[in-house]
Amino acid sequence: MAARRAARRVAPERLRIGLLGISLVVAWTLLGFRLFEVQVVRASDYAEMGRGQRTTRKVLAPDRGTIFDRSGEPLAMTVEAETLYAVPSLLTDSVYATQMVSAYTGKAVEPMRAAIAKGGNFAYLARQIDPEIVQLVLDLHLDGVFAVKEPKRVYPAASIASHVVGFVDIDGKGLEGLEYEYDQHLTGTPGEVEFERDASGTPIPQGELKEIPAVPGDDVVTTIDLPLQFAASDACSRAMVASSAKGCWIVVLNAETGEILAMAGAPTFDPVSRESANGGTFTNFAVRGMYEPGSTQKLVTMATALDTGTFRPSDVVTDVPDQLEINAGACKSATDEVYGCYRDAKKHETHNMTVQEIFSFSSNVGTIKLSQRLPKGALTDYMERFGLGSITGVDFSGEASGAVRIDPGCSTCLASAAIGYSVAVTPLQMAAAYAAIANDGVWTQPHLTSATVDVNGRLSDFVPQTHRVVKAETAWTIRQMLSDVVLEGTGTAAQIPGYRVGGKTGTAEKLVNGVYTNQNIASFVGMAPIDDPKIVVAVVIDEPSFATRYGGLSAAPPFAEVMEAALHRLGVAPSGTEQ
């Protein structure tokens, strides 16, 4: 009996072994299931998680495209530079570090300290610095100061072409000029690199590496001729000084193609620093600024008179006085309460004048008499044909459309428009209008770029729009009349030895807040050589001194200077026949 009970009892040692065995079986079974889940069921998920922990991605910034002049000279380009930054938590002496960085780079200390004070793991100290200077700073072994490569936009032509080329912000985004207009072309497409790294961030040798290269931005080839741009900019600056003017603008057009060979203004600015310039200085007045053209508008009035067959240059207009009263009492009103008094620049006896003489000597009264005999609506129609009151479509942002105000119910608007008032234009519009006469009556859309070039060398050419404005015979006649203006009229200062030149002076009182002031806008627009014009040059002087207020005095001399340079640049030989 006792032996049977002992046989039924299980020894504790054997029980423990059995339980341990069962536990091991269960554990191995669970482990097997877990391994099966990890290595088979969810293997791809865990592999991706692991790869994500040891890999990193970085965006590869594309190289911004280069802006060239017509001969391949760079106007804007990107160069290698480096940026100094700090990790605030690693700085042992931020005061000393920022002082040293400032001393080597010339950057102000205050912005550096303000960036550091914000905390975080990154603070800019000095961006886009010459690599040699950056290395000098790194050689100081300043705790917490590091460097990273960051490209920089530079402008080899400096201020000479700043109003055309424009500029970018610190991150390379176009803000003004062609940099803004063609920003999407110039920017390119960012790339990406993905690589495996260890816990310290160091790339793992033989590790996985994937790279999508950045696609560089397109290059932009402009129509600008850099030497001619320099000549125009220099002439503008000196004209400002000579006439004590507020500003000067010069546009040089290829009369046949509409290419803008130069577009310069003064005062100018440095496109990199921009520290000494105000916002108004950045504005390209040649495209965005509007002014009343005064007597340069008489080209459109005269073209209307001839093209409609209303007059011929030899026709005589009888009894032209030196002042004309549209509204009764206008010329006797001392306070301008009654509008409608028009006067010639110089007093003269009432006399007969040919149409050519009216144009050559810029008679306001004679021109108004011509306009009064034009077909109804003709002047407005021809202004629109010449592009006044509408944008030219130049490839430049913010172009002003100008304005033409000839209200049928306005007693003075037609007379004012005939002599360049009640009309607002841009310097580029006037240059394009004169280019239509130079180009045998065909208006051609002005443009600043000839092509964009992608990374594969494919060209996208600019194709300008064209339309006929006047008959070719009318354009030829107008050119001869313009030549007489320079030969014996108000534009004698525009003469160029060895070339026949034609052009028209303009002098208009400046309208400020709806009131005419004693300040003037003086201008001269002309072409050469007159028998087969290649070039049109427009010069606008803002607020010249009283002594030089007329376009023939302040604007004609820089016109002659720039026109001569343009003719030489295009290889136009002197004809031997001077004015």
Most confident of 37-51, 101-115, 188-202: 101-115
Instruction: Report the pLDDT value the prediction gives residue 360, as an integer from 0 to 100.
Output: 94
Q: Is the pLDDT of residue 229 over 70?
A: yes
Rounded distance between C-alpha atoms, residue 315 and residue 312, angstroms:
5
Q: Token pair for residue 70?
A: 């017509």
Instruction: Report the pLDDT value the prediction gives residue 204, as an integer from 0 to 100.
Output: 59
Rounded distance between C-alpha atoms, residue 165 and residue 186, angstroms:
12
Q: How many residues does the chain have?
A: 579
Query: Do strands 219-222 and 67-68 pair parallel, antiparallel, or not at all (unpaired)?
Result: parallel
Rounded distance between C-alpha atoms, residue 23 and residue 557, angstroms:
107
Eight-state DSSP code of residue 38: I
Instruction: Report the pLDDT value the prediction gives residue 222, as an integer from 0 to 100.
Output: 97
Indicate the burial class of 332 (C-beta count within 10 angstroms; 0-12, 13-18, 19 or more).
Answer: exposed
Strand partners, 57: 194
- Cβ neighbours of 197 (radius 10 Å): 14
Eight-state DSSP code of residue 493: G
Q: Is the pLDDT of residue 300 over 80?
A: yes
Instruction: Report the pLDDT value the prediction gives residue 32, as an integer from 0 to 100.
Output: 74
Helix/strand/coil percentages in the chain, nearest 5: 40, 25, 35
Instruction: Report the pLDDT value the prediction gives residue 14, as an integer from 0 to 100.
Output: 75
Instruction: Report the pLDDT value the prediction gives residue 275, as an integer from 0 to 100.
Output: 63
Using pLDDT thresholds of 50, 70 and 90, give the confidence band for residue 111: very high
Residue of 346, 460, 464 whose CA lies nearest to 395:
464
Query: pTM of this prediction?
Result: 0.85
Rounded distance between C-alpha atoms, residue 429 and residue 436, angstroms:
11
Q: Which residues are catalytic?
A: 295
Rounded distance between C-alpha atoms, residue 262 and residue 251, angstroms:
6
Q: 535: number of CA atoms within 13 Å, CB side?
A: 28
Q: Is the pLDDT of residue 42 over 80?
A: no
Respond yes or no on whether the N-terminal peptide bond of residue 313 is cis (omega within 30° of 0).
no
Instruction: Report the pLDDT value the prediction gives residue 462, as an integer from 0 to 100.
Output: 86
Give 24 or 262, the one with higher predicted confidence.
Answer: 262
Instruction: Report the pLDDT value the prediction gives residue 203, as an integer from 0 to 100.
Output: 54
Instruction: Report the pLDDT value the prediction gives residue 334, as an integer from 0 to 100.
Output: 62
Report the number of secondary-structure helices (H) and strands (E) in the chain: 21, 27
Instruction: Write out pLDDT tens, residues 408-455.
Output: 888 899 999 999 999 999 999 999 999 999 999 999 999 999 999 988
Q: Give the CA angle between residues 220, 394, 175 to the nearest 5°.
A: 60
Using pLDDT thresholds of 50, 70 and 90, give the confidence band for residue 150: confident
Q: Is the pLDDT of residue 327 over 70?
A: yes
Least confident of 173-187, 199-213, 410-424, 425-439: 199-213
Using pLDDT thresholds of 50, 70 and 90, give the confidence band for residue 365: very high
Residue of 153, 218, 214, 220 whose CA lies nearest to 189:
214
Instruction: Report the pLDDT value the prediction gives residue 208, as an integer from 0 to 100.
Output: 61
Using pLDDT thresholds of 50, 70 and 90, give the confidence band for residue 107: very high
Instruction: Report the pLDDT value the prediction gives residue 431, as an integer from 0 to 100.
Output: 98
Q: Is the pLDDT of residue 386 over 60?
A: yes
- Cβ neighbours of 462 (radius 10 Å): 16
Instruction: Write out pLDDT tens, residues 508-528.
Output: 999 888 788 889 999 999 999
Least confident of 199-213, 383-397, 492-506: 199-213
Average pLDDT, the chain: 89
Q: Is the pLDDT of residue 283 over 80?
A: yes
Mean pLDDT of 82-91: 90
Q: Give the CA angle between residues 308, 306, 259 to the nearest 5°.
A: 100
Eight-state DSSP code of residue 266: E
Q: Is the pLDDT of residue 482 over 90?
A: yes
Mean pLDDT of 68-90: 93
Give 460 or 325, the one with higher predicted confidence.
Answer: 325
Q: Is the pLDDT of residue 5 over 70?
A: no
Rounded distance between C-alpha atoms, residue 173 and residue 176, angstroms:
10
Using pLDDT thresholds of 50, 70 and 90, give the confidence band for residue 309: very high
Give 205 or 407, the one with higher predicted confidence.
Answer: 407
Q: Is the pLDDT of residue 189 over 80?
A: yes
Q: Is the pLDDT of residue 488 over 60?
A: yes
Q: Is the pLDDT of residue 52 over 80?
A: no
Q: Is the pLDDT of residue 202 over 70?
A: no
Instruction: Report the pLDDT value the prediction gives residue 43, as an integer from 0 to 100.
Output: 59
Rounded distance between C-alpha atoms, residue 562 and residue 231, angstroms:
6
Query: What percentage of the chain carries pLDDT values higher than 90?
Result: 70
Instruction: Write out pLDDT tens, residues 338-358.
Output: 788 999 989 999 999 999 999
CA distances from residue 125 to 93, 95, 109, 271, 486 in whole angstroms, order as listed: 14, 12, 8, 22, 59
